[in-house]
Each structure stands twice: as structure tokens, then as C-alpha cells.
Amino acid sequence: MKRILVADNQLSHRDLLQRFLSKNNFTVETAATCSHAIELLNSKKFDIIISEYLLPDMEGTAFFEKCRLLAPEVQFIFMSREVNLKCAINLIRKGVHQFLEKPLNPDELLEIIQSCENSSELVQQNSDFKSPSPTPKPTAYQNPDIVYGNSKKAKWMIKQAQKVGNTNFTVLIEGETGTGKESLARLIHQESPRKEKPFVAVDCGSLSREIAGSELFGHEKGAFTGALNSKTGFFEQAEGGTIFLDEIANLPMEIQISLLRALQEKVIRKVGGSKEIPIDVRIIAATNEDLLEKSQEYGFREDLLFRLNEFVLKVPALRERMDDFPLFVEFFLEQTAKELNQPKPKLGEGVMEYFTQYFWPGNIRELRNVIRRCCLFVNRSMEIQVDSLPHRILVNKSEVFDSNPKNYNRSIPQPLRNPEPEDLKTTAARAESQRILEVLKDVQYNKTKAAEVLNIHRKTLYSKLKQINMA
């Protein structure tokens, strides 16, 4: 029997909820303040908390965060007569299950409580769920490019992904460039009943307005000039499985409308076709932007956002999980050694110090690329020396970044060692790379905006980022 804690300063509403939930076979306790609710949570186990957002002694977000520290497995439902949309979305991103408007609809409340029971975040103390066993190295999940850490943030992220994988929820994965969003999407797919079916990954950032519809949904013969044959789109290729839409914020508005229909009606229509094709595809989307903010700027459909964020997963940046850093380094050293068919190198004196003082804007992907590059320049003792590190790492951390990543010092950093004289081509390439990094910082790593500011095509930007290991 599920145990529910109801927190509401209005006596009549609190008692009404207690009677209603008790009749529906729930064990219910009540509290009139956040402080009382926290006392109860300290002494008893609850599965769900249903709380008024505007309690007199504590702001709702602070109350939620305190409860989450005490009992991370508890599901949270907020309610209020005045629901601020942005506040509600931010809370759901942090892990709140639902935000309801008063007066509550009894049938809707029961449905939401049922969804809590089936939800990916509900981890019961007596369940058979086993978290990933601690290992001396990060875990690779079938795909050798997938790396997990052992920090608390990493374990919580994996736990959420494994639990939501067993549902058919649409998932929105948020995180900076290079944090491993596609890896997490593959884990969700592998934990689902669809694991034997296709997993189709799509980089929405590389789809131009002209070809996006054809690539995603396919086209009929003669649909446009050059359409000599009919084409099967990514959605049909993923039938029965999962489609992963990376950088979904870059989808053109007209394609967003078609995607919304695919989510709502489970049908697609090929470009140039008149027939609706039923589909059975799970959608996992990823973004490195704030989609709520973009929707308010009319760059992303708000109704599509609410369809996509049925369940939101946040991937922490590498700098937020430095406990995992040595594990990632060891994993990539082993991986690269196998690829190059050579003994595993070790880090020379001072290398780890440079690594840990660097900000890692490209996150795990950037670290992997740096390790791969360094493995080509090991000495006879199979050591990676400081001299083999990329220039961007051979700068003092304080000269490039302060504690806030938004406060980026745009002055060209000076190396800690005297560089060799460079030719004109190398100097120009370095200046170009520096300018690209500056613009990316200015636009919060939105590659579409960066391409516009730099006055180059998006594909050209992707190519240049690959050259500097930032793609």
C-alpha cells in the first residue's frame, strides 16, 4: 500500500484529500507546514508527497530540494491555485512529477498517482532494482563509446535512464555539447522492450530546411526536382524501435508541426504523399539549449515541448563530476591503446594537473579526443608528456575562465611555455579557432546562432569544430 504525505495549510482541503485518498486504499498523513512535513519525512517512509506550492514557512522549490535530499526516491506532486508556467517547467526539470492547478480533479489526481507508481523516478526501498555495481573503471554498455562514472550524479543519472527505459515515455535529454546525450539515449533503448528493434540517431543540426522533411519522413517519387525514386525516412527505418533526435532545437518550424503530429497521432506523411502511414516509434530528443526560453522567443513550439518533456533527464557537465575524471582518462587510454595496437600509455608528470585545471567546454567528447591525440605523441617510456597537450589546455585556468562559464575572458590566452615560431597559415588557423570558440560562448553553444554570427553555413561550422576537436 502506497504511503502519501499531503502538505497543505488549508485545513478543509487537507482533510478532503486525506479522506479521498484513504478511500482509494492509500495510507495518508498530513502536514500544515513544510517544517512539519520534513519532520514526518525524517521519521517515516513515504512514496509520494502532494504539496501546496505556496506554504507559509518555506518556498516550494526549497521545500522540494530539502525533501529530495532526505528521500531521493519520493515522488513529488505540487498543487496551487496560481500556476506559473515557467516555474512549473523548471520544477519538473528538477524532478517534480507533476504540477496541478487547484481545484483538483479527483480522477486526474488518481491517474497521476498511478503514473507516479509506474514512473521512472520511483525507486522503492524494497524493490528488486539493483543500481550499477561500483567498479574500478567506468562501465561500457555494449557500445565502446559509452562511458559511465561512479560519482553520485552519474549513478543517479544511470538509475533514472534504466528505469525510464522500461516505459514508453517520450524522453528529453538536456546537457551541454559532448556530455554523452546520445550514449544515454542508447542506454534507455537497451533497457526497453524495443532493444531488439532499430535505434536510429538523427543530428537535427545537420538537417537543412530543404531536406529535413524528406530525411525524417521520406518522400514519394517525383515529390520535387531530383526525387527520382521514393525514399524511406528515418521514422520508418526506426519502426518498432527508437528514434533519437539530437539538437532538436534546430528543427525548422514546419518540421516541428509534422513531428508534433507524429507524437500525437502516431502517423507520418511522406513529402509529396497523401497517405498517412502509422508508426510505432519511441522518441528520445536531446538539446543543449533552453527549449522553454526558445519557445517564448517563437523559435520552438511550446506544444511540442510539452509533448517531448514527458520525462526530462539532465546530463551533468564533466566539470560537475570531476570525481569521475580519472576513470574516464583510464578508459580512453585503454580504448585508444587497443585501437592503435600499442601498450596503454600513462600520464607523465604534471599532465593530470593541467587536465584538472582546464574547463572542458567540450566535456567527455573533448576529453576523448585529447587523449586520442596525445597517445600519438608518447615518448619511449609510453608516457604522455605536457608538451603533447593541445594549446588550449596549456594555459592557466584563471586566464581563460572564472567560476562562471558565462564570464568568458575573450583575450587570447598565452601559453605557459614558449611556443615554436609559427608560419602565417598556422597563425590564421589559431585566430580562426579562437574566434569560433568566442562566438560559441557568446551564444551559449547554439551552433545555428554561431554560424549566423560568423556568417558561414552550419555545415562549415561543424567541419571547423571537428578540426579543433569540438564537434
Question: Is the distance from CB of 248 to CB of 285 less than 8 angstroms?
Answer: yes
pLDDT of residue 119: 55
Q: pLDDT (tens digit, 9 = 90+) per residue, 8-66?
A: 998 888 999 999 999 988 999 999 999 999 999 988 899 999 999 988 888 888 889 88
Q: How far apart are CA 400 and CA 418, in angstroms?
A: 18
Largest alpha-carbon pair distance within the chain? 81
For residue 130, pLDDT over 70 is answered with no
Look up residue 266 and give its three cell numbers: 502516431
* DSSP strand pairing (276-278 vs 267-269): antiparallel
Look up residue 149 and give its three cell numbers: 562514472
pLDDT of residue 466: 67
Three-state secondary-structure class, residue 180: coil
Q: pLDDT (tens digit, 9 = 90+) per residue, 337-365?
A: 988 888 999 999 899 989 988 888 889 99
Please name which of 277, 254, 275 lies closest in space to residue 267, comparing C-alpha atoms: 277
pTM: 0.58
pLDDT of residue 277: 93
Question: Is the distance from CB of 209 to CB of 393 less than 8 angstroms?
Answer: no
Please name which of 421, 338, 351, 415 lies closest in space to residue 379, comparing C-alpha atoms: 351
Starting at the edge strand found earlier in the chain, the sheet holding 48-52 runs 27-31, 3-7, 48-52, 75-80, 98-101
Hey, where are the domains in the chain? Answer: 3-118, 152-316, 319-467
Three-state secondary-structure class, residue 219: strand
Specify the amino acid at residue 41.
L
Indicate the CATH number for domain 319-467. Answer: 1.10.8.60
Look up residue 444 and give its three cell numbers: 551559449
Q: pLDDT (tens digit, 9 = 90+) per residue, 267-303?
A: 999 999 889 999 999 999 999 888 887 777 667 888 8
For residue 93, pLDDT over 60 is answered with yes
For residue 403, pLDDT over 70 is answered with no
Mean pLDDT of the chain: 81
Strands (E), 162-290: 171-174, 199-203, 242-246, 267-269, 276-278, 282-287
Q: How far apart are CA 54 and CA 52, in angstroms?
A: 6
Q: How far apart are CA 345 and CA 379, in angstroms?
A: 9
For residue 459, pLDDT over 60 is answered with yes
Look up residue 295 and give its three cell numbers: 519557445
Q: How far apart are CA 257 and CA 303, in angstroms?
A: 10
- Which backbone phi and psi does 99 adopt, to 5 degrees? -125, 115
Please list, in sequence order, all residues whose beta carbon lies within 8 angstroms of the beta carbon of residue 429, skipping any fewer than 6 positions away. none
Q: How far apart are CA 465 and CA 463, in angstroms?
A: 5
Three-state secondary-structure class, residue 21: helix
- DSSP H or E segment with residue 48: strand 48-52
Three-state secondary-structure class, residue 417: coil
Residue range 121-144: mean pLDDT, rounded:
39
| pLDDT category of residue 413 using cuts at 50, 70 and 90 | very low
- With 0-12 / 13-18 / 19 or more C-beta atoms within 10 angstroms meaning exposed / middle / buried, residue 61 is middle
The residue assigned the cell 533497457 is: 191
Look up residue 133 and give its three cell numbers: 555495481
Beta bridge partners of 276: 269
| Fold (CATH) for 3-118 | Rossmann fold (3.40.50)
Three-state secondary-structure class, residue 158: helix
* DSSP strand pairing (346-347 vs 383-384): parallel
| pLDDT category of residue 424 using cuts at 50, 70 and 90 | low
pLDDT of residue 127: 38
Q: Fold identical between 152-316 and 319-467?
A: no
pLDDT of residue 125: 37
| pLDDT category of residue 184 using cuts at 50, 70 and 90 | very high
Indicate the CATH number for domain 152-316. Answer: 3.40.50.300
Q: pLDDT (tens digit, 9 = 90+) per residue, 160-182?
A: 998 999 999 999 999 998 999 99
The residue assigned the cell 593541467 is: 354
Please list, in sequence order, all residues whose beta carbon lies within 8 angstroms of the beta carbon of residue 211, skipping any fewer than 6 positions away. none
The residue assigned the cell 511540442 is: 304
For residue 458, pLDDT over 90 is answered with no
Q: pLDDT (tens digit, 9 = 90+) per residue, 248-275?
A: 998 988 899 999 999 999 999 999 988 9
Percentage of the chain with pLDDT > 70?
A: 83
Look up residue 256 and give its three cell numbers: 516541428
Please name which of 88, 154, 117 lies closest in space to residue 25, comparing C-alpha atoms: 117
| pLDDT category of residue 141 using cuts at 50, 70 and 90 | very low
